[in-house]
Amino acid sequence: MIPLYNKEHYIENTLKSVLRQSFQDFEVIVVDDGSSDRSLEAAKRVQSNKIKIITQPNLGVSVARNTGIHHASGTYIAFLDADDIWRENYLETIRTLIEKYPQSDIFVTAYAVHMKNGKINYSLRLVPKTGCLESYWTMLGKGYDFVWTSATVIMREALIKAGCFKPQEKIGQDLDMWARVARNNPRVAYSADICVDYNRAAESNARTRVKIAWAGAFIQDLEEELINPARTVTEIEAIQRKYDKKMTAYIFTSILAGEKKMARKALQNWKGEKNLRNQMLQAGLWAAQLVPKPINAWIYKIRLKVF
């Protein structure tokens, strides 16, 4: 399922990577979300009876994904952003996970992150090489997202049961979706094989389109889970770690956008247990409000180049 919006320079290679899969029992649903460039024409240049292209007005990536989910005929939905690449063994690896770990609704692989400066980073690779984690929550906040869109397949019924993607969300829609699926079934089947290439250097993505990193629905999910009595100590620690990171991104981008009142309110409403890490983060964010905007912008730019 590929949502498409203004990715004319990437979509052909993305589609070709899907068609090159060693496992060939799949359909490809591309939902063009009202692209204003030549993305739709580029997608149509890739000819295959496996590809179905749906067009809609610009309603946002969540609506596009929901459209794809409801038009899908398969049991599982494999998500892929229009500027990322699947390696040839991706779907074969996922099929093996599905056969080996039928108790899970979420199936993921490791992935490579291609930065703008040419550097390549990698998501967390667990030992043993394959397995089924009992809790999605324990992996939160450990480097790059363990469950990440273009390297994630989820049972279609589980997505529908969880309510699909929230249309109003501008950023973090996928994280909110995975969290709601995990509330019903927290297991995550994984492979440590690197099967996907994440194009972090793409011209247009959420990081460039959204000025303030307010992942509202996902932050609310985390706040609710922080007080969920069913969560273990290990889960709470991981949830707190992810929450602290998301709040830091939101508050710092608010400061960069000149919304210091918004930043102060968020700092005052920071949830969860106090620890040395988040107290240091909060102190740094209070101090950032006194730093000239160009310096903060430089710091944020450096951060994006590194991670």
Predicted confidence band of residue 201 (pLDDT cuts 50, 70, 90): confident
18-to-1, 51, 115, 195, 205 alpha-carbon distances in Å: 11, 10, 22, 12, 21
The H or E element spanning position 192 is strand 188-199
pTM: 0.93
State how far the Cα of 205 lies from the Cα of 183, in Å rounded to an integer: 28
- Looking at residues 256-261, what average pLDDT do you find? 89
Q: Is the pLDDT of residue 193 over 60?
A: yes
| List of domains in the chain | 2-208 (3.90.550.10), 211-306 (no CATH)
Contact (CB, 8 A) for 51 and 12: no
- Looking at residues 250-270, what average pLDDT do you find? 93
Predicted confidence band of residue 283 (pLDDT cuts 50, 70, 90): very high
SS3 state at 124: coil
269-to-148, 227, 251 alpha-carbon distances in Å: 28, 15, 11
Task: Give the lowest-confidence range in 106-110, 211-215, 239-243.
Answer: 211-215
